[in-house]
Structure 1
């Protein structure tokens, strides 16, 4: 079992059923809800889209090692990060970057540098045993 989980712009619910995605869609230049619906069907295969195996928003995060989620508020997937933040436990740590797009951490911008500094610190910290 890993000692930590670090997620960048995670797709937490492949059902794309969160209505908040629609209000973020005009700000997201990279992802499209309809295209993701098709990809979600392909990815889920024989699993129900609500299964925690393909939609971790439905998983019990208390059984995970510490989770660190990095997301931008202009990413349609942020809707589910926000939803998870209202229901998950202390085991999940959120780093939300205003006006950032999907996987902004891959771009050569100051916000990416800040996020990578946090990731470096998280990786360097010793886990409590």
Structure 2
């Protein structure tokens, strides 16, 4: 793993083994994996000491480090080949999917160390090419981790991400937003109870209000342009709107899209619905415009 001197991250802690129930749930996710889109080259490589999957297109215009969801306890790069390759094709992007450590084996801040190491390596690569830093994105817990990475990078000796692409981001591990209850009947994927359990596995007695664990509580001043997409009917709607509001108040350029009648992280969950196609277009426009305006 790359040296993270200057990042000022908390030390990695020893975790505990996953329950058989969680292990079975992880195995079960293989049934929902998509193949990558034709025209995208897929390769695996260690980057910064972390296993990563690269989704590559000819003559890419930008790099996007994308962090999968799964409540910090599930998910892997293979499960996001479909979404990642659609973004790669639409935005002419090199998309890097990082297999960061999962809880409870790797509690906070192991995942943050991993993605910081990958990001540092990508910054070195892009510095040698055109000097334009990578974008960072993610959905659900991956969206929270992407935001935490930007907060940590602001105080580190590395360039900030070019922008943040956040789909249904989970940014408040206190799990206290009213939409956990008000949207409980319309969110079939995420519940207050499941996120409380996920937070416990990830935090393992660490303070949920730590800004590097719950970036909603961070000073957001100086963060890069931010795209937030959320469902009007998901439990994490409150996290998304609170983040967009706080970021805008801190002077961050924010573009937020709240879409009715779609599930949590719909571009990854329901790729064939029109709203997912629209979301890929929105992400592409954001990436392209931010790159052109830099």
Q: Which moved more, 1:112-121 or 1:60-69?
A: 60-69
Runs of 4+ in structure 1 over 4 Å off: none
The offset of 1:46, in angstroms, is: 4.8
Change (3 A) 1:60 1:93: farther
1:115 is aligned to 2:279: yes
* 1:62 aligned counterpart, secondary structure: coil
Aligned to 1:82: 241
1:97 aligns with 2:256: no
TM-score between the two structures when normalised by the length of structure 2: 0.41
Deviates more, 1:23-32 or 1:46-55: 46-55
Give the RMSD, CA atoms, in angstroms. Answer: 1.6
Conserved? CA contact 1:3–1:127, under 8 Å: no
Q: Which residue of 1 aligns with 2:231?
A: 72
Larger radius of gyration: 2
Cα distance between partner residues in 2 of 1:119 and 1:30? 23
How far, CA to CA, are the matches of 2:171 and 2:284 in structure 1? 23
Alpha-carbon distance in structure 2 between the residues aligned to 1:38 and 1:55: 15
Structure 1 range deviating more: 91-100 or 78-87:
78-87
Shift of 1:127: 5.6
* Equivalent residue pairs, number: 129
CA distance in 1 between counterparts of 2:241 and 2:171 reads 10
User: Could you tell me which of 45, 56, 61 is aligned with 2:204?
Assistant: 45
Aligned residue among 12, 16, 19 for 2:178? 19
Partner of 2:94: none
Match in the other structure for 1:6: 165
Mean alpha-carbon deviation: is it higher for 6-15 or for 57-66?
57-66
How big is the shift at 1:42? Answer: 1.5
Answer with 8-17 or 75-84: which moved more: 75-84
Given the two structures, how large is their TM-score scaled by the length of structure 1?
0.89
Structure 1: where are the runs of 5+ without partners? none
**Larger displacement relative to structure 2 (102-111 or 79-88):** 79-88
Distance 2:220 2:255 in 1: 11
Q: Distance in 2 between matches of 1:124 and 1:82?
A: 24
CA contact (8 A) 2:177 2:239 kept: yes
Q: Partners of 1:29 and 1:84 in 2: how far apart? A: 23
How big is each residue's C-alpha offset from its partner over 1:63-117, in whole Å with a ceiling of 9 and x where there is no partner? 2111111111121011121233443324222111112211111221101111110
